[in-house]
Structure 1
Amino acid sequence: MISKKVRWTLATAIIGMMLAVTGCKGGNESTSKGNSDQKTSVSAPAGNNVINISLKADPPSLDPSKSNALVDRQVQNSIYDKLFDLDKNGNIVPVLVESYEVSPDGKVYTFKLKKGIKFHDGTEFNADVVKFNIERNREDDSRRQNEMKFVQKADVVDPQTVKIKLSEPFSPFISILTDRSGMMVSPEAVKKYGDDYLNHPVGTGAYVFVEHVKGDHVTLKKNENYWNGEVKIDEINYKVFSNGTAAVQNLKSGQLDFVDDVPTKEIKGLENNPNIKVVAEAGMAYQGMYLNTTQEPFTNKYLRQAVNKAIDREAFIKVVIDGYGVPANSPFAPGNLAYGDSDKVSKPNEQEIKDLLTKGGKPNGFSFKFQIGTSPVNEQFGAVIQSMLKPYGIQVELEKVEFGTMLDNGAKHKFQALQLGWSGRPDPDQSFFDFVVTDQPNNYAAVSNPELDKLAKQARIELDPAKRKALYDQAMEIVHDESEYVYIYHDFNRFGVSKKVTGFEYVPDGIIHTQKLDKK
């Protein structure tokens, strides 16, 4: 049975209020639609104590400080516990934190930590560990550096208490700690393995890393001494499938227990399968395409606007993802604090698009290369963009690129147009700042607008939710004018789950949370 509804609630809408409360109690990234060598079958261990989960791409890095892909997070959430996490309703709840206080000015966070927790390597989790992780995430080579920008220092008060001081109020701070900045890695393991730590990840989570065979699988085993309840599954295997249909075939045959991204065209067939449950729920993500402002033809704003205006979002969703999405014109999905009129879409207006092409000096159109992923749905994505732009004389040449290479090309601005999306986060800042502010790590389009930078910075330090939303509304007017990214749709998270699997709870972060899983 499929439930098409928006379930998650934005915890950060109350962050401003939390700043006046003490003793509260209670857990960057581009995604592509799967881009690794295709698998047609799985040779999986048999037995009820093994769960096999498909991944639409090979995880580039299992080091939270260095990673930037959704598939990384799918594995990381089994290896690492976080300071905070999201519950099934999308609310922020403490995990490794027992309780916390926030100073009235929003600049000092005091965390009381839970006791008796150990890493997989036997070392203790304590305040020194939190200090180490915070400082590591602030280093120049960390992809978390911008998230930790306002952290001045982390002080150890006692073994179970850490005090984090910010240079100024930062509304998304707790929300950020529900993701990779809040994942606690073993300091001893980092010191032991150095740059190779990504191949030897050590956390406090429900599962222990065994091996990562690039392009094929990641294997984890149960943490026999897990602090947060019994782990019932002995082994989890994450298997790489770039072809979603092949993953579904393996789910039907019993070789897989989970499919992480069910192709929409496979959903109806799975609904009729008595052995499989389909979970299709609205999440926080968006999909679309970057237009590189530093490379012709997209140095020209009017040509970027023409491409943006020519995409019929509703038609795109019907054709490419069979209606399992919401038309998008912003990074803010329904339910987000910043969601509103900025996300409204309109049908393409032929005369408006022709006028933009004329203003851009290309009245008869132009051509560009569009980098897409290697899966069938990537190809369809590109083909539909081609067909929607062709009537205006805009010719699109498709280039199929492996997922990791796409991320690298994006970071180095080595593209004209690039198909990558974002899996979304609870706080609007986490889906906005790094993508639109000058020189930030996910600003692949290299847009640079001083007024946009100013508004984005103001929004992240404003504590009042209503005032924050007003700032994002202003910022989105500039984003629409710049058109450096074409927002097309907000994703549904689509899982296929064997009915032999029990204990699964959907969480709107799009992650398969494994700690409570069991198997009949």
Structure 2
Amino acid sequence: MTRHLLTATALAALLTAMPAAAQELRIGLGDDADILDPDQSRTFVGRIVYAGLCDKLVDLDADVNIIPMLATDWAYSDDGMQLVMNLREGVVFHDGTPFDADAVVANITRSMTLPESRRKSELSSVASITATGPLQVTFQLTAPDASLVAQLSDRAGMMISPTAAEASGADFGLNPVCSGPFKFVERIQQDRIVLEKFDDYYDADRIHIERVTYRPIPDTTVRLANLRSGELDIVERLAAPDVAAVSQDPALQLQEAVGLGYMGIYVNIDNGDRSQTPVGQDARVRQAFSLAVDREALNQVVFEGTARAGNQPFPPTSPWYNQDLPVQPRDIEAARALLAEAGQDRVALEIQHANTPVTAQMMQVIQAMVAEAGFDVTLRATEFATLLAEQTAGNFQFSRSDWSGRPDPDGNLHQFVTCEGGINDPKYCNPEVDRLLNEARAASDVAVRKDLYDQASVILNKDLPVIYLGHQTYIFALEQSVQGFEALPDGMIRLQDVTLSE
């Protein structure tokens, strides 16, 4: 009798536990994230993880409008020299530290002063930040900055526990503590990042998943196979050739959104010894390379028409795009003439790129295209986080990388091409570009900002520290059981209101 009772009890407990176990969401990522510290990191997939782990002061909606998150409202002073933000009440970090004005001051100060911080250029207009109330902070600016609130919608605005940050220093990313809907459990490099639901989240009623596991799977074919086999629930950046098959699969669903950023090649201009090459030292050689690339063919061959050909940090559909600099058609004769003018016949060149099938295919097509103009290209595939580390160290000639984009045009330019830009890996420096982009930050009139960005784009189109190739669409494939997810132009996977049906 007792034996039967124990069996029935165990069975009941098992059945009770099953729905909870079913509420694990498994997400396939195109790369592995780098360090999980918002001040130090720079990978796209790291931002996807942060969407579950680290809330920001402000967020974006589907129309790329800035909306409240940890800040409930904000306003600039009449002269544009101060930004006042009021903060949400009742928020705590995962370690129990309260979120308040002092916490925001500590976060922004860390972003501005941590030696390893990559957020310094994003916050370069901030002279100081003070707590002007228990739940109010005031940014004092060195000059008006129309881009600042938009910067706070991403890593510069992600709030981490000051207690944990002080204890961990630059090693914070080994055990990140934030205030998002999920808290950190474990990370195994190149295998998985695991988060679990944070019960004290201020908006807990919108969180229905108990556990999230992010799995880096660079091979798009393997990523999709894992989705079809039931090992994953969502995959991001589905390869364009797989779109038709997924759309016809009744077990799967598709969502997509045109991205805010660009696909580009970064050129080592002054970052160590590897910049001492014809492509690094002569803009005419870079111009020749750019002219040898057929961007529309890349879109059709590699992305089956789902991307946009582009030659600027903004897509041609953006209001910030300079219409006076349209995408140039491929011109081999003009490219050869530029090489000859630069005193070059054939140019040997190594291009590093991420070890994903789509990127590898794209680079092989480019390799064949530019060979006709006189470029002998060697391709070096590497894991994406390693690629970024090599860029930072100057161990590259050309480096093929994407930027996911930001809602304000400043976010696609300033930190990459200003002399002291936080992620200016080419080490490009043109004082006139600095002047134009700094003035654009300070201007509040949209027409004035547009004119300044147009002027900068003319210079950058000539100097080419970044050779822009196009703009991708973010394509997600999901199991039909996943409900409530919405693809946004920033490509993030927000987990509020997402459910898994049985």
| TM, length-normalised to structure 1 | 0.89
Match of 1:348 in 2: 330
Instruction: State which drifts further: 160-169 or 449-458.
Output: 449-458
| Structure having the larger proportion of residues in helix | 2
C-alpha distance after superposition, 1:7-49 (max 9, x if no partner): xxxxxxxxxxxxxxxxxxxxxxxxxxxxxxxxxxxxxx99421
C-alpha distance after superposition, 1:415-471 (max 9, x if no partner): 111111211001111110111112423222222222222212211111111111101
User: 2:100 is matched with which residue: 126, 129, 135?
Assistant: 126
3-state SS, counterpart of residue 278 of structure 2: coil
Correspondence 1:216 to 2:216: no
3-state SS, counterpart of residue 341 of structure 1: coil
The amino acid across from 2:229 in the alignment is: S
Determine the C-alpha separation between the residues in 2 that align with 1:304 and 1:346.
14
Match of 1:263 in 2: 239
Q: What's the CA shift for 1:350?
A: 2.9
Correspondence 1:286 to 2:262: yes
Q: What's the CA shift for 1:484?
A: 2.2
Instruction: State which drifts further: 383-392 or 187-196.
Output: 187-196
Match of 2:294 in 1: 312
Match of 1:274 in 2: 250
3-state SS, counterpart of residue 314 of structure 2: coil
Number of aligned residue pairs: give it.
475
Q: What's the CA shift for 1:119?
A: 1.1
CA contact (8 A) 1:79 1:208 kept: yes
The amino acid across from 2:66 in the alignment is: I
Determine the C-alpha separation between the residues in 2 that align with 1:391 and 1:101.
55
Q: How does 1:101-500 map to 2 (within 5 A)?
A: 101-139=75-113, 140-230=115-205, 231-293=207-269, 294-298=275-279, 299-334=281-316, 336-341=318-323, 344-362=326-344, 364-500=345-481
Q: How does 1:69-84 map to 2 (within 5 A)?
A: 69-84=43-58
3-state SS, counterpart of residue 426 of structure 1: coil
3-state SS, counterpart of residue 396 of structure 1: strand
CA contact (8 A) 2:256 2:487 kept: no
Instruction: State which drifts further: 434-443 or 386-395.
Output: 434-443
C-alpha distance after superposition, 1:464-497 (max 9, x if no partner): 1111110111111111111222111101011111
3-state SS, counterpart of residue 92 of structure 2: coil
Determine the C-alpha separation between the residues in 2 that align with 1:196 and 1:485.
31
List runs of 5+ in structure 1 lacking aligned partners: 1-44
Sort the Cα spacing of 1:335 and 1:461 in 2 relative to 1 into closer, same or farther, 3 A.
farther
Q: How does 1:12-27 map to 2 (within 5 A)?
A: none
Q: What's the CA shift for 1:506?
A: 1.9
3-state SS, counterpart of residue 392 of structure 1: coil
C-alpha distance after superposition, 1:29-78 (max 9, x if no partner): xxxxxxxxxxxxxxxx9942111001111111111111111111010111
Match of 2:41 in 1: 67
Q: What's the CA shift for 1:343?
A: 5.7
Instruction: State which drifts further: 63-72 or 153-162.
Output: 153-162
Sort the Cα spacing of 1:191 and 1:291 in 2 relative to 1 into closer, same or farther, 3 A.
closer
CA contact (8 A) 2:246 2:253 kept: yes
RMSD: 1.5
CA contact (8 A) 1:80 1:204 kept: yes
Determine the C-alpha separation between the residues in 2 that align with 1:116 and 1:280.
35
Match of 2:72 in 1: 98
3-state SS, counterpart of residue 163 of structure 2: helix
List runs of 5+ in structure 2 lacking aligned partners: 1-18, 270-274
Q: What's the CA shift for 1:179?
A: 0.3
Q: What's the CA shift for 1:515?
A: 2.2
Q: What's the CA shift for 1:202?
A: 1.1
3-state SS, counterpart of residue 351 of structure 2: strand
| TM, length-normalised to structure 2 | 0.92
Match of 1:12 in 2: none
Match of 1:515 in 2: 496
3-state SS, counterpart of residue 124 of structure 1: coil
Determine the C-alpha separation between the residues in 2 that align with 1:169 and 1:439.
19
Determine the C-alpha separation between the residues in 1 that align with 2:363 and 2:332.
21
Determine the C-alpha separation between the residues in 1 that align with 2:484 and 2:325.
35
CA contact (8 A) 1:336 1:427 kept: no
Determine the C-alpha separation between the residues in 2 that align with 1:457 and 1:109.
18
Determine the C-alpha separation between the residues in 1 that align with 2:131 and 2:72.
16
C-alpha distance after superposition, 1:356-393 (max 9, x if no partner): 1111111x322211112212122212211111011122
Determine the C-alpha separation between the residues in 1 that align with 2:332 and 2:165.
56
Determine the C-alpha separation between the residues in 1 that align with 2:348 and 2:126.
45
Determine the C-alpha separation between the residues in 1 that align with 2:223 and 2:31.
12
